[in-house]
Amino acid sequence: MAEAARRRDGRIARERMLEEAMTAIAESGLASLTMSALARRLGTSGGHILYYFGSKDLLLAEALRWSESRLTDERAALLTRRVTAPRKLELFCELYLPDGPRDPRWMLWLELWARTAGNADLRAAQDELDHAWQRDLTALLAKGVAQGRFAVPEDEVPARAVELLALLDGVSTRLLLAAPGTGTAWARTTALSAARRLVPHT
């Protein structure tokens, strides 16, 4: 019983660190974040945070994994919903997009992309998380093709999924940085328009 309580308390403490780290990175960027500053926000020591994560880069990767894990169940539920394949694709796109400028989850992605070229651990984290989205989108498109709802050749489904995710990344980044002419309504309209062009409905 005591061991289970310790594990639970440790998990809660770790999740609180990740949530606070995500907020701090979204506010000021990873370069401005120090372990001592994060420790002050949490009421603990920098050494305690380093014990869990080892470095700022690993903290970034774990914060992003934790953030993304909260969407895994939502994507799984979406894939089994009793709605049409075109509607599922719309909902998938909406789930992928940021909530608005400086969305904390997406700010983590920007920080990750800026560091993956020279860091094998961060590149592995990016590949892992990208693959999860691509796997689920490919499954959604393949099922829609099998049902006759999408006019896409079966052998082109994986490539269409990759292309659509790349377009969604571009739309998301412009929204995240509050580029002129963007906004949440613009992002949704643009994303769904791109999805319909790449994955025509029958």
What the chain holds in terms of domains, given with CATH numbers, is 56-198 (1.10.357.10)
pTM of the model: 0.87
Q: For 144-188, what is each residue's pLDDT tens digit?
A: 999 999 999 999 999 999 999 999 999 999 999 999 999 999 999
Write the DSSP assignment of the chain as a string of letters.
-HHHHHHHHHHHHHHHHHHHHHHHHHHH-TTT--HHHHHHHHTS-HHHHHHHHSSHHHHHHHHHHHHHHHHHHHHHHHHTSSS-HHHHHHHHHHHHS-SSTT-HHHHHHHHHHHHGGG-HHHHHHHHHHHHHHHHHHHHHHHHHHHTT-B---GGGHHHHHHHHHHHHHHHHHHHHTT-TT--HHHHHHHHHHHHHHHS-B-
Q: For 121-152, what is each residue's pLDDT tens digit?
A: 899 999 999 999 999 999 999 999 999 999 99
